[in-house]
Amino acid sequence: MPRVPTRLRDRLYGPLLAFLITSAAFCSAWAARGTFPFGDTGRAINDQANQYVPFHRALWDLVHGQAAGDLLFTWRGGFGQQFLSDYHTYLGNPISWLAVLVPRAHVDLAVFAITPVTMGAAAAVMTVYLGKLHPGPWWQRGVLGACYGLCGWALSDASYIPMWLWGLVALPLLGIAVEWCLEERRWPGVALFVALAWFGNFYTAMMATMAACVLLAVRLLTRDMTGRQRLRAVWRAATAAGTGILLTLPLLLPSFLSSGSAQPTGAGAFAPVRIELFLAGMLPATHLWGGRPRLYVASLGLILAGSFLFNAAIARRTRLVWAAATLLVAASFQFPPTQYVWHGLAVPNGNPYRETFVFSAMVVVLAWLALAHRPRPPHVASAAALLVAATFALRHANDFGGWTWPAVLVGGGVSLLALVLLALGEKRRYLIPVAAVLMIGVVLAESAVAAANADSRRGRERWAKPVATSNKSIGAHFDAVRQVDGWPAYRTDSGAPQSAYNDALALRAEGPQYYSSYLPEATYRALEPLGYGFKNDGRTFFGADNPVLDAIFSIGARVRPGTAPDSWTSTRFPAPPLVTVRTGPYTSPNPADSVYARQENVLGATVYQVPRTTRGGTATRQTYTAQCAPGSEAYWFSPELYGTLDFAGAPRPLEDRMTGVVRLGEVPADGRVPVTVSTRTEGAAAGEHPIGCLDRTALEGAIASLRSTGATKVTAGGHSIEATLPKGATGTAVFAMTDVPGWQCTAPAKSFHGLVALDIPAGRDKVSCTFTPKGLTPGLSAAALALLTLISVSAAGIRRRRRA
């Protein structure tokens, strides 16, 4: 068997070792906890279930030609929404494409696999970067690369957020690019590395880019360079970074503009945690509750980083500059102005310490520089003692990790022993393999324990309870939706969310359910007044089982839970086409401030009776009574109340704004509609007109009228829609989609109660609209210019090398 050349071995073995340690440690934690796929406990936590798995299923559909939409737009969810910004934000991690290689039923398994694979990739790239900073044995770089890939941020904050994890890869990738700038070579490679980082996920790539600026400043101060060389390095870095970011502008600019037109959310001001909590976040295997910083790496990395300042083999200026930069980075996390800079001048809606992987990277760099310069046993012993003393001093910090003492004492003790054996191995070579085994083993074991601890403690939080993303019920739900699919003749509503807020994406339905940071304010303003439930300040919308809303949005099929466990039933019913024609103005005769009048204004017909409602009872047990026509259908709407609703002895939950219009049931023969609400909303009451009674016959007549005068044929493309109208149609064509920014139609588009509409051109029997994300065209132009620059510079470099 041929022997692998030493240089190739050093290049390949270190990154491979780092990848294996990282992925094995994380998967070991899964296995120890009995989580999917190593057990029955779910791993879909919070937004992983609600967003990431459904979006990856949408990617699968897109690649396999089974999507209702394309890369620019999706018809599945929110009655049609942009998709390009969602792709960039939620699916940009290149490893996310693993999801398209498996059967659709197993996409959730691929999403879970993205985490250890991306963390392993980050560890491998960090191993390469450490070799650029200083040469050293491949296995030592691999072990410290794994310390980075298994840092506290990755294990606690980003382990269930696959797109964030790309920032973990981007940081060392940009560190390599910094080294190329200092060496004045591979300018096109630098630009491509920047583009790769920003294509993956602009949010964490922005943080990684800022970290690269810190790394560049440190290297400029610690390398022996002339002033001219430093200026050239900065110029190369700036121009390559600008070119790389411009290459991503077709994704970046539409995402930025989509964010600007998204439904606003409330975010509180940044409040730094107390200093003892901040320092406790640096201790290994610590998982503090809530929005706390996770700053730690394995004990081996902490001990080596602690010995960095003592290591006289490293130049004093190098030690001081690196140490000062690391301390300043940590301090910037506690100072509000710099925190805002780390987050792109925005306050995060959630944990504000999302950039802490930068500090962990700096610690690993210090650890490598110390290890590469052969730290002396007294120095590492002093650092280990300091770690123990810090743990003792911080043991009373809030929610101090139960596994922190074992990690410090056992992990730190084994790490210290390994480093002592490594030092002795300079004269006794047989000790080096022992030290290597101990270092690899302690990082793997300690990190697996830290990951399992983080997973266990996070699971105690109410918001982090894992849910299933594939089971018999979800499979039956998907099949039920497929049985009544009729797009684009009509929409299918998948019903109340079963496993995800984005069930419409996950189940291939076309209802209102959608959850995205980019859900437009225009969609919120169109759907909220009509009685759809929502949360997250309006960036998440739910369905409403209401036949008037079904008629407005061309929903012709609905899926509901069946009577048997894990069963679902499908129902088809007449619906207007996606494009209807309105010939004149209509104003509901019912009270204008009621949800029922607003629905009628969009439908264009009177179908409700909205009676006067009397209120009684107490503050917590309220009673409401109204009188309606016997045989009509009573509905309820009270977004102000949270508690339990009871009509005719059938209680059901009220979740304030999450609960949309609710069907109460058939009005009895005496016409009396009594409703009891047991509310937990202090001081709140239903509005003036919570009850509306639907005349089914009137609604059927309105639907028949819209069907007879509406489009005779509708064709929906990836990001376009075309309708053939009856001959001689006049008036306004109304499209059953919200008036989100980006629609261009055959006539000037206008808003019809929040829906896209246009005046039918005289003599035309076809109308169409095409969606183009704002910013896409200038983004493509800028990217083309950047690509031309990249090609020109590359060609000039090739010619220069040939002449040489």
Q: Specify the amino acid at residue 42.
A: G
Q: Specify the amino acid at residue 337.
A: P
Q: What is the pTM of this model?
A: 0.94
CB 580 within 8 A of CB 710: yes
**Spans in the chain with pLDDT lower than 50:** 1
pLDDT of residue 1: 44
Write out the DSSP string of 519-540. Answer: -BHHHHHHHGGGT--EEGGGTE
pLDDT of residue 2: 53
Architecture of domain 608-694: Sandwich (2.60)
- Tokens 């859900």, residue located: 519
DSSP SS3 for 615: strand
Nearest to 122 by CA among 93, 84, 156, 160: 93
Q: What is the pLDDT of residues 29-87, one digit of tens each?
A: 989 988 878 887 777 888 898 999 999 999 999 999 999 999 999 999 999 999 999 99
Nearest to 721 by CA among 705, 740, 744: 744
CB 74 within 8 A of CB 68: yes
d(CA 467, CA 451): 19
DSSP SS3 for 47: helix
Burial class of residue 637, CB neighbours in 10 A (0-12, 13-18, 19+): buried
Question: In degrees rounded to 5, what are phi and psi of residue 715?
Answer: -120, 125
Write out the DSSP string of 713-778. Answer: EEEE-SSEEEEEPPTT--SEEEEEEE--TTEEESS-EEEETTEEEEEPPTT--EEEEEE--TTHHH
Domain ranges in the chain are 6-41+92-261+277-464, 472-582, 608-694, 703-771
Write out the DSSP string of 287-323. Answer: --SSS-------HHHHHHHHTTTT-TTS-HHHHHHHH
d(CA 316, CA 329): 20
Which helix (H) or strand (E) segment holds residue 646: the answer is strand 642-647
CB 481 within 8 A of CB 496: no
The distance from CA 211 to its chain's CA centroid, rounded to whole angstroms, is 22
Sheet-wide strand order for 732-738:
579-582, 732-738, 755-759, 749-752
Q: C-alpha distances in angstroms, 682 versus 18, 231, 640, 685?
A: 55, 64, 10, 9
Q: What tokens does 358 get? A: 């930068």
Write out the DSSP string of 201-225. Answer: -HHHHHHHHHHHHHHHHHHHHHS--
Q: What is the pLDDT of residues 569-622, one digit of tens each?
A: 999 999 999 999 999 899 999 999 999 999 999 999 999 999 999 999 998 999
Question: In degrees rounded to 5, what are phi and psi of residue 624?
Answer: -130, 135
Burial class of residue 261, CB neighbours in 10 A (0-12, 13-18, 19+): middle
Q: Specify the amino acid at residue 760.
A: I
pLDDT of residue 381: 96
DSSP SS3 for 118: helix
CB 784 within 8 A of CB 754: no
Q: Where are the alpha helices (DSSP H) in 570-631?
A: 595-603
CB 707 within 8 A of CB 751: no
d(CA 529, CA 542): 13
Q: Specify the amino acid at residue 442.
A: V
Which helix (H) or strand (E) segment holds residue 624: the answer is strand 621-627
- The number of beta carbons lying within 10 Å of the beta carbon of residue 340 is 16
Q: C-alpha distances in angstroms, 739 versus 269, 465, 523, 542, 758?
A: 32, 36, 7, 18, 11
CB 435 within 8 A of CB 418: yes
DSSP SS3 for 380: helix
DSSP SS3 for 270: coil
CB 277 within 8 A of CB 391: no
